[in-house]
Amino acid sequence: MAATIKTAEEIEKMRVAGKLASEVLTMITPYVKKGVTTDELNTICHDYIVNEQGATPAPLNYGEPPFPKSICTSVNHCICHGIPSDKKLKDGDIINIDVTVIKDGYHGDTSKMFIVGKPSILAERLVRVTQECLYNAIKEVKPGMRLGDIGHLCQTHAEAHNYSIVREYCGHGIGKHFHEDPQIVHYGKPGTGEELVPGMCFTIEPMVNAGKRYSKILPDQWTVVTKDRSLSAQWEHTLLVTETGVEVLTLREEEDLPRVINHD
């Protein structure tokens, strides 16, 4: 299956959904602190998405078995798809909050790392380098780039810091459906894979481990953790390939990254 190229009308809807997803992460930021449970964070996000935004949280009841919550909360050695629970955040924890909203039938998908209290040097560095992997890739996105180039940029930056890239989980096309073609892996060889064309919408969401790249799924059939219990970090944005570069549909105001990057 090839990527679906979005029409001008669809792109406008993707912009709206992306903005809403980014606003959820901005809204939840003050609540992410020592002593809060991830289930409390889930409730706050759910109520905001449904009641304030008039949107739908895409993860809720998604997949098989149905995902039971409205956001993913992945703490410390959890790589992705962490299920919110009654466990309280403690000082030094790192947590990825992954938000996907549906508005007018279109999806906006983004995630952010949060640090609770004072992090270890290792944790702070891992979080920063993982964000750099994402940003390095975003800044090069333009028509004619290949998917292998995206993976190569993420992989080389992570491995230069002696970290490893998770290979079983990846970014993805997005639009009317939560997960569309193509798959965006975060490792690879430059000049390989599908070529980017204007109108493509997809996520880049590198998952970077402080230890080895291997993962395992817990018995809940959703939660993915590092096999060696090392810390893991992830950042994610939804992107639109433009005629001359890229538009970051889920950009937050706090970020030091242009919303639109032109390469002409």
Binding residues for substrate are 81, 179
Binding residues for a divalent metal cation: 98, 109, 172, 205, 236
Residue 99's nearest CA partner among 166, 27, 151, 9 is 27
Burial class (CB in 10 A: 0-12, 13-18, 19+), 156: middle
Binding-site members are 81, 98, 109, 172, 179, 205, 236
Radius of gyration of the chain (CA): 17
Do 130 and 74 touch, CB atoms closer than 8 A? Answer: no
Sign of CA dihedral 37, 42, 43, 48: positive
- CA 192, distance to chain mean position in Å, is 23
Token representation of residue 181 = 């073609």
Length of the chain: 264
